[in-house]
Amino acid sequence: MSMTPRQRWVALLEGRRPDRIPTDYQATAEVTARLLRDLDCHDENALWRKLHVDKRMEVCPRPTRGDRNDNDTDIWGVRYTNVDYGRGHYLTPVGHPLADVESPDDVHKHRWPDPDDFDYTAVTQAVDASDGRYPIHAGHFEPFLRYAYMRGLEQAYMDLATREDIAEAILGRIFDFHYEYHRRIFAAGAGRIDTMYVAEDLGSQRGALMSLEMYRRFLLPNQIKLADLARSFGIHVMYHTDGASRQFLGDLIDRVGIEILNPIQWRCPGMEREGLVRDFGERIIFHGSIDNQQTLAFGSVDDVIAEVRESIEIYRPARWICAPCHNIQPISPTENIVAMYETIHEYGCY
């Protein structure tokens, strides 16, 4: 008897074999809209069923204050502009509210968001409305990315080396908000939330973005606390880091206690699939891995089929959720995306 998407995820998380390799989906809004048109699906649920996608259902609280959440500025005070790149658009930060702070006192004077500014009954209502078919995901803690948006990317990295007092003050305020915000989300989920994200992009295309020592000082302690909070509510911890992040995996697995690693950019140094399976395959679930920088974007349908089938064999001794290795971009043709899901559905049975 075939399993539901949630049953497949739970089976992997419990160390059991599901009926087939689960799948997941990440894409820009433009790609999803195109797939709905091209595949004649009336809504996203119909799309997931057509592609056999074991999609996580994401739930979140409802903001109750609008004065810091308009189209240009978010609740942290970061101002954005819309960039059109021809086939789609994205928001990029252009106003950094902490760019000019000179001391921890300046940091604390900033108008920080308050967990009280959200209605958490929206989470309860969403999980109550779920029919249990899909796994439920809630929460995302990625503090240094938020730091970089508030301070400016270059200055944020410089702070870790030259302004440790400011770095600790900003990261401390970000953590304080997120800990209480997530505690209320998890409580509102009433035991129905399956997964959450602890995240930070630790790797570039060629190497680490910071030293292991800097990671351990500025990021690791609070990642452990958020992960422990999630586990206290019975929630499984996913971790997202792009790029060549091999040197951090020991701490992420042994100290943060992550269970799922995303997105596996296997063409980056140290992230080769065979080596990850050999060294970590008995301890974590791999999520992603189908290359959307080359194969999905510029390869042929046959290239996509070959990569999926190759990955099936590589991950056979381990636990794997087949998905693109990041958000699918509009440059990826519909036929390549469909080929990925059709191939894993055809050949991914245990």
Model confidence band, residue 130 (pLDDT cutoffs 50, 70, 90):
very high
Question: What per-residue confidence (pLDDT) applies to 114?
Answer: 97
What does the alpha-carbon distance between residue 255 and residue 57 come to, in Å, rounded to a whole number? 28
Q: What is the mean pLDDT of residues 66-94?
A: 84
Question: What per-residue confidence (pLDDT) applies to 66?
Answer: 59
pLDDT tens per residue across span 173-232: 999 999 999 999 999 999 999 999 999 999 999 999 999 999 999 999 999 999 999 999
Residue 69 has pLDDT above 60, yes or no: no
From the candidate CATH numbers 3.40.50.80, 3.20.20.210, 3.30.565.10, 3.40.50.2000, the one assigned to the domain spanning 60-212: 3.20.20.210
Asked if residue 122 lies in contact with residue 113, where contact means CB atoms within 8 angstroms, the answer is no
What does the alpha-carbon distance between residue 67 and residue 60 come to, in Å, rounded to a whole number? 19
Residues paired with residue 20 on neighbouring β-strands, in sequence order: 349
Q: What are the structural domain ranges in the chain?
A: 1-56+263-350, 60-212
Stated pTM of the model: 0.96
Please report, for residues 86, 146, 147, 153, 174, the alpha-carbon distance to residue 73 in angstroms, rounded to integers and kept in the order given.
24, 13, 15, 17, 17
Q: Token pair for residue 274?
A: 């065979």
Question: What per-residue confidence (pLDDT) applies to 88?
Answer: 86
Other Cβ atoms within 10 Å of 138 Cβ, number: 27
Mean predicted lDDT score pLDDT of the chain: 96
Model confidence band, residue 71 (pLDDT cutoffs 50, 70, 90):
low
Residue 1 has pLDDT above 90, yes or no: no
Residue 39 has pLDDT above 90, yes or no: yes
Model confidence band, residue 98 (pLDDT cutoffs 50, 70, 90):
very high
pLDDT tens per residue across span 248-294: 999 999 999 999 999 999 999 999 999 999 999 999 999 999 999 99
Mention every residue, 6+ apart, whose C-beta is less than 8 A from residue 27.
Answer: 35, 324, 327, 328, 329, 337
